[in-house]
Amino acid sequence: MAYIKGVNLGNWLVLEKWMSPALFAGTDAEDEYYLPRRLSPEVYEARIKMHRSEYISERDFACIKSMGLNTVRIPVPYFIFGDRAPFIGCIEELDKAFSWAEKYGLKILVDLHSVPYSQNGFDNGGLSGVCKWSQHPEEVEFVLNLLEKLAERYGHREGLFGIQPVNEPITEEVWEAMNVQKRYPPVDPEMAEGSAPNSMEFLRKFYSDAYDRIRAHVAEDKYVVFHDGFQLKAWKDFLTQPKFKNVILDTHQYLMMAEMFGCEQSVEGYERYIKENYEKDLEEVQAYIPVVVGEWCMFNSYAVGMDTKGGQSALNGMDFSENKEKFTPEEKKEIYRRITSAQLRAWEKGSGYFYWSYKLLLDTVNDPSWIGWDSWDLGKCADQGWFPENREV
């Protein structure tokens, strides 16, 4: 397998309010579940169709190729086929993405990013504060059928790298550490009642079933990619079973999460944490299963200028109104280059990476709430020279 150098097309087919707040203007919706429930059907359809047509186009695939990348990870929603009202399907957009990818010599990892009742309670899971998918057998079966349909549709496309059955299914440690329902308060307490992290027993069963459904329809050289459930070293005995062919373990490693677990907020602190944790752990896991860092970025509280409490934004109730740029452009460039170089060295212990994300629509100049958040935007990071000079993106 060639080393993966990729980027996520976040906020294109699966919405995240913080990445494009204007989409949610005039509503109190904080996530994708409530957006169509706060707008008229006509307004919702117009907004979504306009967003999808403008946010990502053929030109972006040409740009991604020119950056030296070889793979894109495309988050897709559980309503991709248009069979879950009031949401609008987006299978046509994914069809176009495959044609664009194949034209420019890129591969696609199709990532099922959201599921009914959510797998994590995050805003990016589509329904804040609710995590009950694994408690609904009929919805688990819906997802398995959906994965099978995706495998049938794209399983022999030249542009397919692989399929990821579900993104970031949360397990107990991170559920508790993030205090999910406080960070992402549920709109409907009754719906959220009984929310709980996914058990490893459930995940192993789901992954085994999903693998069987996908593998039955995809070419042998395509991959099935499993997220680690925020437990990178818990999968050795499971994923080394003879039944699994061409599987990859996906882990998401963010400095904001490192801060949450006690990483010192300084350049030296980040470098030390990356070497002592990321490098060591990736090397250990890579010895028995290919592992890819499916999400990461150079965002960190030190460059923001204040503690973000694990990457919380103004949308989580954080007050950034008094925040100001603490560093000159050259100082910020040096900060980002050093910590990015350390991260890229760590990722080389594995099989590759996907940056989160390709773009976002924030005003990081006029709105103090978003100072430092432009580091999530790969295009801007590249344009600003924030990647080390001796390394391509």
Cite the DSSP H helix spans in the chain: 41-55, 58-66, 91-103, 137-154, 172-178, 180-183, 189-192, 200-215, 236-239, 255-260, 267-273, 280-286, 301-304, 329-347, 378-383
Using left for φ > 0, alpha for ψ between -120 and 50, and beta otherwise, residue 308 falls in: alpha
The single-letter code of the amino acid at 55 is Y
Q: How far apart are CA 257 and CA 253, in angstroms?
A: 7
| pTM for the predicted model, two decimal places | 0.97
Helix/strand/coil percent split, the chain, to 5: 45, 10, 45
Q: How far apart are CA 303 and CA 325, in angstroms?
A: 8
pLDDT given for residue 279 in this prediction: 97
Q: For tokens 């694994």, what's the residue? A: 134
What is the residue extent of each domain of the chain? 4-13+52-383
Evaluate the CA torsion angle 343, 260, 373, 253 in order and state its sign. Answer: positive
Tokens, residue 53 = 């047509």
Model confidence pLDDT, tens digit, residues 201-242: 999 999 999 999 999 999 999 999 999 999 999 999 999 999
Of 314, 293, 296, nearest to 255 by C-alpha is 296
Q: How far apart are CA 20 and CA 92, in angstroms?
A: 22
Q: How far apart are CA 352 and CA 293, in angstroms?
A: 6
Q: How far apart are CA 341 and CA 335, in angstroms?
A: 10
The residues pairing with 74 across neighbouring beta strands, listed in sequence order, are 110
Averages of pLDDT over runs of 10 residues in the chain (393 residues) are: 97 97 96 98 98 98 97 98 98 98 98 98 96 98 98 98 98 95 96 98 98 98 98 97 98 96 97 98 98 98 95 91 92 97 98 98 92 96 87 67
pLDDT given for residue 392 in this prediction: 66
Q: How far apart are CA 210 and CA 203, in angstroms?
A: 10
Of 163, 158, 188, 2, nearest to 74 by C-alpha is 163
Preceding omega of 20 cis (within 30 degrees of 0): no
Whether the CB-CB separation of 286 and 261 falls below 8 Å is answered with no
Whether the CB-CB separation of 25 and 31 falls below 8 Å is answered with no
Q: How far apart are CA 159 and CA 103, in angstroms?
A: 9
Residues 6+ apart with CB under 8 A from 293: 250, 251, 252, 253, 282, 347, 350, 352, 353, 354
Model confidence pLDDT, tens digit, residues 130-153: 999 999 999 999 999 999 999 999
What phi, psi does 99 have (nearest 5°)?
-65, -40
- Residues 208-231: b if buried by 16+ CB within 10 A, e if exposed: ebbbebbbebbeeebbbbbbbbbe
Residues 6+ apart with CB under 8 A from 113: 14, 75, 76, 77, 124, 125, 126, 167
pLDDT given for residue 321 in this prediction: 87
Whether the CB-CB separation of 364 and 300 falls below 8 Å is answered with no
Q: For tokens 């044609």, what's the residue? A: 99
Q: How far apart are CA 52 and CA 14, in angstroms?
A: 10
Superfamily of domain 4-13+52-383: Glycosidases (3.20.20.80)
Angle at 132 between CA 126 and CA 138, to 5 degrees: 100
pLDDT given for residue 86 in this prediction: 98
Angle at 320 between CA 318 and CA 322, to 5 degrees: 140
